[in-house]
Amino acid sequence: MTVCVRFVLRVVLAVLLAGAGPGVWAQPQNPLHERGETGELTIGSDGRYVLSQSFTYLEDAGGELTLADVLKPDAQARFQPVPQTGSATNFGLTNSAIWLRVNLRTERSAPADWMLELAYPPLDRLELYSPDGKGGFAGQVGGDLLSFADRAVVHRNHVMPVRLKPGTVNALYLRVTSSGTVSAPVRLWQPAALWQHDQVEYATISLYFGLLVGLFFYNLLLFFSVRDRAYLIYVAFVGCMAVAQAALTGFGAQFIWPELTWWNSISPPAGMAATASFGILFARSFLSSALKMPRMDRFIQVLVGGWLLTLLAAFTMPYVVSSWMVTVLAVFSVTTLVVVGLLSLRMGHPGARYFLAAWALLLVGVVTLALHNTGVLPSNWFTANSLLIGSALEMVVLSFALADRINVTRQEKEQAQARIMAEQSMVEALSVSQENFRTLLKEREMILENSIVGIAFLTPDGRFRWANQAMLKVFGAGSNALTSMEPFYLSREQYLTVGAEVAACVSRGENYEAEIQVQQFDGTLIWVSLSGKSVAERDLSQGTVWVIINITQRKELEAKLLRTSSEREAILNSALVGIVLSVNRRHEWVNEKFAQMIGSPREELMGQPSSYIHPDLATWEQFGREARETLIAAGRYINERQLRRRDGQLFWVQMAGSCVQPNDPDSGVIWAFLDITERKKSEEDTREALEQQKTLNELRTRFVAMTSHEFRTPLSGILSAEELLRHYGNRLPESEKLEILDSIAAGVKRMTSMLDRVLLLGKADAQMLEFEPHMLDLQKLCHQLVEEARTQQPDTLCELRLDYMADPGEGLYDEKLLRHIFGNLLSNAVKYSPLGGLVRFTVRPDKDSLVMEVSDEGIGIPEDELPHLFESFHRASNVGTIQGTGLGLAIVRNAVDIHGGTIDVRSSAGSGTCFTVRLPLRY
Encode pLDDT of 685-708 as tens digits.
777 767 756 655 555 555 555 555
d(CA 391, CA 69): 45
Task: Decide: 197 and 110 in contact? Cβ < 8 Å.
Answer: no
Strand order in the sheet with 578-583: 608-609, 586-590, 578-583, 664-675, 650-661, 636-644
- Give the chain's mean pLDDT: 76
Query: What are the residues facing 799 on neighbouring strands?
Result: 838
One-letter amino acid identity for 507? S
For residue 440, give the amino acid letter: L
Q: How many other C-beta atoms lie within 10 A of the C-beta of residue 417?
A: 10
Alpha-carbon gap, residue 550 to 530, rounded angstroms: 9
Rounded Cα gap, residues 58 and 809, in angstroms: 130
The CA distance from 15 to 272, in Å, is 14
Per-residue DSSP letter, 866? G
User: Any idea what DSSP says for residue 520?
Assistant: -
Could you give the CA distance from residue 640 to residue 631 in angstroms, rounded to a whole number?
16
Count of other CB atoms within 10 angstroms of residue 804: 17
State the pTM of this model: 0.40
Residue ranges with strand state E in 494-585: 512-519, 525-536, 539-550, 578-583
Residue 458 in contact with residue 485, Cβ under 8 Å? yes
Distance CA 353, CA 342 (A): 9
**DSSP label at 508?**
T
Give the chain's residues under pLDDT 50: 1-37, 375, 379, 766, 768
Check residue 11 and give its pLDDT: 39
Query: Which residues neighbour 100 within 8 Å (Cβ) at sequence distance 6 or greater?
Result: 55, 56, 57, 82, 89, 173, 174, 175, 176, 184, 186
Residue 9 contacts residue 70 (beta carbons within 8 Å): no
Residue 122: per-residue pLDDT? 80
Q: Partners of 775 in the beta sheet? A: 812
